[in-house]
Amino acid sequence: SEAQVARRAATDRGETYFHPNLIPTHKRLPIAFTHGQGVWLYDEKGRKYIDLLAGIAVDSLGHAHPRLAGAIADQAHKLIHVSNNFHIAIQERLAEQLARLSRMDKVFFANSGAEANEAAIKLARLHGHRKGIDRPRIVVMEKAFHGRTLATLWAGGNTKIQAGFGPPVDGFVRVPLGDVAAIERALAEDPGIVAVLLEVVQGEGGVNLLAPRVMKEIEALCAANGLLLMLDEVQTGIGRTGRFLAFQHADVAPDVVTLAKGLGGGVPIGACLVAAKAVDLFGVGAHGSTFGGNPLACAAATAVLDVIEEDDLCGNARVVGQYMAERLRERLAGPGVAEVRGLGLLIGIELEQPCPDLMRHALDAGVVLSVTADKVVRLVPPLTITRDEADYAMDRLVPVIKSAARTS
Ligand code: PMP
């Protein structure tokens, strides 16, 4: 088509191209990937790249994993979709597996991270109303990211992406990340607070970690005040940080946990897990979704979880993640690089200055990655990445980052 010719030409010139029939919400880099294999991605010209983005932590098993592809194909041949008005055996199996791995009790299936968080926000409001609170409010963190639907947009703390979409959704009280004293002050001022919602490691906000001790303190505050402890593990869950869920590093017991991204290994599925104070808030008819937990998505997710368990991919994320962070700390020590931090295979390299072109330069060097919060290079490779592959990636990545650090 005419558009295809125009895109090819723009791509060859290294320019951004906007297709006439796509709303231009994304500034697309001038590369089109045609297929992938493990940690490798291949573009239209046959060039290979090592994938440290994995669709932003989605492709947990890497690309074209035979178990995942097989499970999706088998399910597609049997039954792709059926209404949630019927029993769905594969959905029940996935719910059991998630409950066991997360030590949560029950699950509501959605289709994305934002949607899972919408369910969490609705749960918090129900919890508040049950306590006789008319206008329930949720404590959220600065720099948080919970999605781009209206409620999750205002649960998040990124004013750039909120701009133009007012009026804000009501019911959120923002505090600095992990500032327990600020949460205590908010509680003293506002008897309407019913929940705390946070990411154990902020992904979009720049790979910002919360110390296990702080998690424990927030858990204790929630327990003492009857608040739901709600953890957004959309980016940190499913083995990413070296445990099945990131909160397991801190050994806390949340009431609500949200998942998406890596859960389906690339097939859209979200989940809102509940336990303790949140376990019986949703009854029949309280919430719903047409596609949520459909057989195809559940077949994909069970295959992902089976492989994660059988191949101990949490262990791999822990070991290779730690190796990468240590090597990067050594190799990037010096001016321009402020810090290398992370947990498992969620690694952030904070530069001293913004680096808008770094993603492009990395692509030129055959590495797919992302830059978040202006100056944090984020690495979220597939959980299957080996030490050799990590070395290959770092050999290409380190010079790109050093050069960005020098020129900025
Ligand atoms: N929460 C967190 C922590 C995320 O990182 C993201 C996606 N970056 C979301 C929620 C939103 O997920 P989705 O794009 O699937 O709606």
Determine if residue 239 is labeled as part of a ligand binding site. Answer: no
Residue 258 CA to ligand 1 center (angstroms) comes to: 10
Cα–Cα distance between 358 and 344 in angstroms, integer? 23
Average pLDDT, the chain: 97
Mean of pLDDT values over 252-265: 98
ipTM over 0.85 threshold: yes
Cβ-Cβ contacts under 8 Å for 196 (sequence gap 6 or more) = 138, 139, 140, 183, 218, 221, 222, 227, 228, 229, 230
DSSP string, 183-239: HHHHHHH-TTEEEEEE-SEETTTTSEE--HHHHHHHHHHHHHHT-EEEEE-TTTTTT
Q: What is the pLDDT of residue 57?
A: 92
Q: Counting atoms of ligand 1 from 1, which one is nearest the CA of 268? A: 15
Mean of pLDDT values over 342-353: 98
The protein residue whose alpha carbon is closest to atom 10 in ligand 1 is 146
- Which of the residues 51, 109, 172, 232 is marked catalytic? 232
Determine if residue 235 is labeled as part of a ligand binding site. Answer: yes
- Which of the residues 51, 108, 109, 145 is marked catalytic? 145
- What digits encode the pLDDT tens for the residues 70-99? 999 999 999 999 999 999 999 999 999 999
Determine if residue 232 is labeled as part of a ligand binding site. Answer: yes
Mean of pLDDT values over 292-307: 98
DSSP string, 110-176: ESSHHHHHHHHHHHHHHHHHHTT-SS-EEEEETT----SSHHHHHHS--HHHHTTSPSPPS-EEEE-
145 catalytically annotated: yes
Has residue 407 got a pLDDT over 90? no
45 catalytically annotated: no
Q: Which of 17-26, 57-66, 333-342, 399-408 has the lowest mean pLDDT?
A: 399-408
Determine if residue 148 is labeled as part of a ligand binding site. Answer: yes
For the chain, give every domain's residue range.
Answer: 31-64+312-407, 66-310
Task: Give the CATH number of domain 66-310.
Answer: 3.40.640.10
The protein residue whose alpha carbon is closest to atom 13 in ligand 1 is 113
Has residue 408 got a pLDDT over 70? no
Mean of pLDDT values over 7-19: 89
Has residue 15 got a pLDDT over 90? no
Mean of pLDDT values over 165-186: 98
Determine if residue 114 is labeled as part of a ligand binding site. Answer: yes
Residue 146 CA to ligand 1 center (angstroms) comes to: 5
Query: Is ligand 1 within 6 A of the CB of residue 332?
Result: no
- Which of the residues 261, 277, 282, 375 is marked catalytic? 261
**CATH for 31-64+312-407, among 1.20.1050.10, 3.90.1150.10, 3.50.50.60, 3.40.50.300?**
3.90.1150.10
247 catalytically annotated: no
- What digits encode the pLDDT tens for the residues 40-70? 999 999 999 999 999 999 999 999 999 999 9
Has residue 233 got a pLDDT over 80? yes
Query: Is ligand 1 within 6 A of the CB of residue 207?
Result: no
Q: Counting atoms of ligand 1 from 1, which one is nearest the CA of 270? A: 15
Encode burial over 178-213: b for 16+ CB neighbours within 10 A, e otherwise.
beeebbeebbeeeeebbbbbbbbbbbbbbbbbbeee
Q: Ligand 1, from 25, 210, 231, 234: best to mutate by most atoms within 8 Å of Cβ? A: 234
Has residue 143 got a pLDDT over 90? yes
Element (H, E) at 40: strand 40-43
Mean of pLDDT values over 268-288: 97
